[in-house]
């Protein structure tokens, strides 16, 4: 039944590969296409990242965790760019897995980060506030955009999603050597526009072992072809600055895209990906998010991984599919990142990577 539904979407097929080496080449080409047509060219990596502890509390959550208020200073193209990060790291005998949260909030915990649940499950969380990187508007003259982009809005110039993704990668740089954290088990997570940014970060940087896109919708995890709610015309009209200018050419012309968003998910293979939808979030379109997981699955299967494991039907509210390499759940309610979503991420992360 799901294959029939997918046929209606007339997706460009994923390239077929038979080995991880072959996949690496194919992956790079696919990533290049996404950059050129949708998100813009990647920013230069940092030459160095230094971590300064601004304040810390060794008795966080009544003694369960170490809280940090950090400042990360990145050296990039001979210039410094710095931003704040807040973190909780549970006290455990062994290094713990961690989340990098691209966040709408400045502090930890916050309305979208149930830090105590995360800590109790044995995970650390590092969170940065997205507008500390670059403003969420068409201003490309300040913050990271001003520093690295110099106001460039040529066709393939990076949009804001690419810049938030870059910052998540810099947090990942810092985690390569952070007390109590295992850099081999780090997830990147974001909600909505920041779920799109998390997918970009996960596509660019294979050090993220799990990529979580919460209700990322249009130009995130959801298929563009046949999507209801927000489409490329709507998103590039209201938020042209999230993307490279070239993406605007696909407004109302989804069929002409050389890829669809399932291929962005596939760029996580053979690592793990997690997609979630909320039943009332029709603007994001849960069905198109779910079908994207189905369509991405062959990328994992080709590499001998389980892919997406779900029954051959559309999801019902309350369903959670966590057996495969791609996890998915559909919760009741409206657009938002809730504790309920986090409990699913924690269960998936523990099941596959703890």
**Minimum distance between the CB of residue 235 and ligand GTR, rounded to whole angstroms?**
6
**Minimum distance between the CB of residue 283 and ligand GTR, rounded to whole angstroms?**
6
CB neighbour list of residue 100: distance below 8 Å, 6 or more residues apart: 126, 127, 168, 171, 172, 175, 186, 187, 188, 189, 201, 208
Q: Which of 127, 192, 224, 297 is catalytic?
A: 192
**Residue holding tokens 């506030």?**
129
Q: Is 168 in the site for ligand GTR (CB under 6 A)?
A: no
What does 39-78 look like in DSSP terms, one character per residue?
I-PPPPPPSEEEEEEEEEEEEHHHHTEEEEEEEEEEEETT
- The answer to whether residue 192 is catalytic is yes
**Minimum distance between the CB of residue 193 and ligand GTR, rounded to whole angstroms?**
3
Site for ligand GTR in 57-116 (CB under 6 A): none
What is the C-alpha separation between 220 and 194, in angstroms, rounded?
Answer: 9
Q: Is 235 in the site for ligand GTR (CB under 6 A)?
A: yes
**Minimum distance between the CB of residue 307 and ligand GTR, rounded to whole angstroms?**
27
Q: Is 222 in the site for ligand GTR (CB under 6 A)?
A: no
Based on CB atoms, which residue is closest to ligand GTR, 189 or 299? 189
**Minimum distance between the CB of residue 21 and ligand GTR, rounded to whole angstroms?**
36
Sign of CA dihedral 159, 160, 161, 167: positive
Residue among 112, 169, 192, 297 that touches ligand GTR (CB under 6 A): 192
Based on CB atoms, which residue is closest to ligand GTR, 37 or 230? 230
Based on CB atoms, which residue is closest to ligand GTR, 46 or 235? 235
Based on CB atoms, which residue is closest to ligand GTR, 193 or 271? 193
Q: Is 218 in the site for ligand GTR (CB under 6 A)?
A: yes
- Strands of the sheet containing 96-103, edge to edge, are 48-59, 65-76, 79-90, 124-129, 96-103, 181-191, 210-214, 272-278, 326-331, 320-321
Q: Give, to the nearest 10 degrees, the angle between helix 193-204 and helix 160-175.
A: 60
**Minimum distance between the CB of residue 344 and ligand GTR, rounded to whole angstroms?**
19
Q: Is 230 in the site for ligand GTR (CB under 6 A)?
A: yes
Based on CB atoms, which residue is closest to ligand GTR, 193 or 329? 193
Decide: 171 and 86 in contact? Cβ < 8 Å.
no
**Minimum distance between the CB of residue 106 and ligand GTR, rounded to whole angstroms?**
17
Task: From 65, 90, 61, 51, select the one nearest 354 (Cα to Cα).
Answer: 90
Residue among 143, 217, 307, 324 that touches ligand GTR (CB under 6 A): 217
Based on CB atoms, which residue is closest to ligand GTR, 160 or 193? 193
Task: From 41, 69, 47, 262, select the one nearest 163 (Cα to Cα).
Answer: 41
- The answer to whether residue 309 is catalytic is no
Distances (CA, A) of 284 to 119, 227, 318: 30, 9, 17
Q: How many residues belong to the site for ligand GTR (CB under 6 A)?
A: 6
Task: From 312, 229, 333, 243, select the one nearest 1 (Cα to Cα).
Answer: 312
Based on CB atoms, which residue is closest to ligand GTR, 19 or 238? 238
Binding site for ligand GTR (CB under 6 A): 192-193, 217-218, 230, 235
Known catalytic residues are 192, 335
């Amino acid at each position: 039944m799901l294959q029939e539904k997918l046929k209606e979407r007339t997706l460009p097929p994923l390239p077929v590969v038979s080995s991880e080496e072959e996949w690496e080449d194919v992956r790079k080409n696919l990533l290049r296409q996404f950059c050129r047509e949708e998100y813009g060219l990647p920013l230069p990596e940092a030459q160095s990242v230094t971590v300064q502890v601004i304040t810390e509390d060794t008795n966080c959550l009544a003694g369960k965790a170490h809280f940090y208020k950090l400042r990360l200073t990145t050296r990039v193209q001979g210039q410094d760019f710095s931003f704040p990060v807040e973190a909780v790291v549970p006290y455990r005998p062994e290094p713990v897995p961690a989340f990098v949260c691209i966040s709408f909030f400045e502090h930890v915990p916050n309305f979208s980060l149930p830090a105590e649940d995360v800590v109790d499950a044995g995970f650390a969380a590092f969170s940065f506030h997205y507008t500390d990187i670059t403003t969420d508007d068409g201003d490309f003259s300040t913050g990271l955009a001003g520093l690295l982009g110099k106001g460039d809005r040529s066709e393939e110039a990076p949009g804001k999603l690419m810049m938030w993704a870059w910052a998540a990668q810099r947090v990942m740089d810092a985690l390569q050597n952070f007390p109590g954290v295992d850099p081999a088990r780090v997830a990147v997570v974001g909600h909505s526009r920041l779920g799109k940014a998390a997918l970009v970060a996960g596509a660019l940087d294979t050090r993220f072992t799990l990529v979580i896109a919460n209700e990322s919708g249009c130009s995130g995890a959801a298929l563009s072809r046949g999507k209801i709610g927000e489409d490329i015309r709507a998103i590039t009209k209201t938020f042209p600055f999230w993307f490279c200018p070239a993406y605007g050419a696909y407004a109302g012309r989804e069929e002409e895209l050389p890829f669809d968003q399932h291929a962005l998910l596939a760029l996580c293979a053979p690592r793990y990906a997690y997609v979630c939808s909320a039943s009332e979030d029709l603007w994001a379109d849960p069905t198109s998010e779910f079908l994207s997981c189905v369509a991405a699955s062959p990328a994992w299967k080709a590499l001998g991984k389980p892919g997406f494991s779900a029954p051959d039907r559309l999801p019902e509210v309350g369903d959670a599919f966590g057996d495969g390499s791609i996890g998915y759940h559909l919760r009741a309610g409206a657009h938002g990142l809730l504790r309920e979503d986090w409990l699913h991420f924690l269960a998936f992360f523990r099941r596959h990577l703890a």
